[in-house]
């Protein structure tokens, strides 16, 4: 068993680190703030888009794609290295919803025409996507979703509502799961996966402000939205299977352990500077370092499986569960270490780490829900990993 990266992979890491030092947003780097902390700030979408295009121009958003679609056919470890460095450098620009959610679906199940039309925009970082799966009352129970797409000539006409749609307010396209057969049994066999231009008439996006005070997600309404049939990925009523592939990829996309480890390093450095670490903190710190390490090695294991072309269903759920819970635990620790100061927001000059502790803590609860809740992850692990019956 060899846990070392190859010399080529190490060289790639250096190249990425060097590039991010020079090209990453200086203001974010100086304040050590990341994507999640900055989403409340006025200019963050422009910074994110700009950085995304810089990454795209270097071919780093399509590292593992087949060469015929503009990729380099590199192992998924290159993507992991890129994302570790992005986390370390507090750098935005990697729009997972495009690169790791919809692109694999199009590559796996899309028609040749859809691949040619959409993959270049994703690889260049110019076209950004959002995900239309959850509905009020149909989050975990996604198979029962009600947004309805009715066949009409060479199109489908969609009516209904999605919710918690991250970045719908600036996305160019959405991948949408809608019901095309109300009689289908079981109900998941009546769903279809559409690609929707967000400029199509009939789409309304309303903001939802999260408890950190940031505008990340939205509710999206569809009123007679017309989608051409050629925008269906795979075929009618096969959307569930496309979505399952998206979700496995989604669960391993964001490196929770890398975000958590970077935050932990920053908390420790900040607390040392302010003389705020006590012996109890040291014990907890040791536990958290161990927790991040377990999450990191689990992610490496799953990346190795992906490199081998193996199915990663319950292992992907483990990745997400361990990685995202480690962010929550580290953010909680930050709040404890900095005591009342940790509650201050970035508007206060007394706030440690530019108010990042409170925003990370408040945002961290969302991590246990997005891409499927932690309970659902545990259920997947129990069912598919241990062969136990469904929780409920």
Q: Which residues bind ligand FAD (CB under 6 A)?
A: 130-134, 139-141, 164-166, 217, 366, 369-370, 372-373, 375-376, 379, 391-392
For the CB of residue 140, give the shortest distance to ligand FAD in the complex, in Å.
3
Toward ligand FAD, which CB reaches closer, 46 or 391?
391
Toward ligand FAD, which CB reaches closer, 94 or 217?
217
Toward ligand FAD, which CB reaches closer, 74 or 376?
376
What DSSP string describes 240-297? HHHHHHHHHHHHTTS-HHHHHHHHHHHHHHHHHHTT---HHHHHHHHHHHHHHHHHHH
Toward ligand FAD, which CB reaches closer, 134 or 249?
134
Question: CA 229 to CA 264: how far, in whole Å?
Answer: 48
How many CB atoms lie under 10 A from the CB of residue 362? Answer: 17
For the CB of residue 368, give the shortest distance to ligand FAD in the complex, in Å.
8
Q: Is 11 helix (H, G, I), strand (E, B) or coil?
A: helix
For the CB of residue 242, give the shortest distance to ligand FAD in the complex, in Å.
14
What DSSP string describes 53-119? HHHHHTTTTSTTS-GGGT-----HHHHHHHHHHHHHTT-----HIIIIIIHHHHHHH--HHHHHHHH
Toward ligand FAD, which CB reaches closer, 76 or 139?
139
Which residue in the block uniquely carries the two structure tokens 């999260």? 210
Cβ-contact 143, 154 below 8 angstroms:
no
Toward ligand FAD, which CB reaches closer, 142 or 357?
142
Cβ-contact 283, 308 below 8 angstroms:
no
Element containing residue 10 per DSSP (H, E): helix 7-23
For the CB of residue 371, give the shortest distance to ligand FAD in the complex, in Å.
6
Eight-state DSSP code of residue 383: I
Q: What are phi and psi of 233, to 5 degrees?
A: -90, 135
For the CB of residue 69, give the shortest distance to ligand FAD in the complex, in Å.
24
Question: CA 273 to CA 269: how far, in whole Å?
Answer: 6
For the CB of residue 176, give the shortest distance to ligand FAD in the complex, in Å.
9
Toward ligand FAD, which CB reaches closer, 78 or 314?
314
Toward ligand FAD, which CB reaches closer, 22 or 392?
392
Helix, strand and coil content of the chain, in percent to the nearest 5, comes to 55, 15, 30
Question: CA 16 to CA 5: how far, in whole Å?
Answer: 15
For the CB of residue 231, give the shortest distance to ligand FAD in the complex, in Å.
18
Closest CB to ligand FAD: residue number? 139
Look up residue 30 and give its two tokens: 């100086």
Look up residue 347 and give its two tokens: 């508007």
For the CB of residue 166, give the shortest distance to ligand FAD in the complex, in Å.
3
């Amino acid at each position: 068993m060899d846990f070392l990266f190859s010399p080529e992979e190490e060289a790639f890491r250096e190249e990425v680190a060097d590039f991010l030092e020079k090209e990453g947003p200086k203001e974010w780097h100086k304040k050590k703030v990341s994507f999640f902390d900055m989403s409340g700030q006025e200019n963050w979408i422009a910074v994110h888009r700009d950085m995304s295009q810089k990454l795209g121009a270097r071919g780093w958003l399509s590292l593992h794609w087949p060469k015929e679609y503009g990729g380099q056919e590199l192992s998924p470890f290159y993507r992991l290295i890129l994302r570790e460095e992005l986390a370390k450098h507090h750098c935005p620009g990697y729009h997972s919803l495009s690169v790791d959610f919809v692109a694999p679906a199009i590559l796996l199940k899309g028609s040749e025409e859809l691949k040619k039309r959409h993959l270049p925009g994703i690889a260049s970082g110019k076209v950004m996507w959002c995900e239309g799966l959850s509905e009020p009352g149909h989050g975990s129970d996604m198979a029962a979703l009600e947004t309805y797409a009715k066949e009409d000539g060479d199109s489908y006409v969609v009516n209904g509502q999605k919710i918690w749609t991250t970045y719908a307010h600036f996305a160019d396209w959405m991948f949408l799961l809608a019901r095309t057969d109300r009689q289908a049994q079981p109900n998941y066999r009546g769903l279809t996966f559409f690609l929707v231009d967000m400029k199509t008439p009939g789409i309304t996006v309303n903001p939802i402000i999260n408890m950190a005070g940031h505008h990340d997600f939205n509710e999206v309404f569809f009123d007679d939205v017309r989608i051409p049939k050629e925008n269906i990925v795979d075929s009618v009523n096969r959307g569930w299977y496309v979505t399952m592939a998206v979700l496995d990829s989604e669960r391993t996309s964001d490196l929770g352990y890398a975000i958590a480890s970077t935050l932990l390093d920053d908390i420790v450095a900040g607390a040392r500077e302010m003389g705020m670490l006590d012996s109890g903190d040291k014990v907890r710190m040791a536990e958290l370092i161990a927790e991040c390490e377990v999450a990191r090695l689990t992610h490496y294991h799953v990346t190795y499986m992906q490199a081998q072309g193996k199915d990663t269903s319950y292992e992907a759920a483990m990745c997400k569960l361990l990685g995202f819970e480690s962010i929550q635990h580290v953010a909680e620790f930050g709040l404890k270490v900095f005591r009342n100061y940790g509650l201050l927001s970035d508007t206060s000059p007394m706030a440690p780490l530019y108010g990042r502790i409170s925003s990370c803590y408040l945002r961290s609860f969302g991590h246990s829900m997005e891409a499927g809740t932690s309970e659902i992850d545990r259920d997947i692990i129990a069912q598919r990993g241990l062969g136990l019956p469904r929780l409920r």
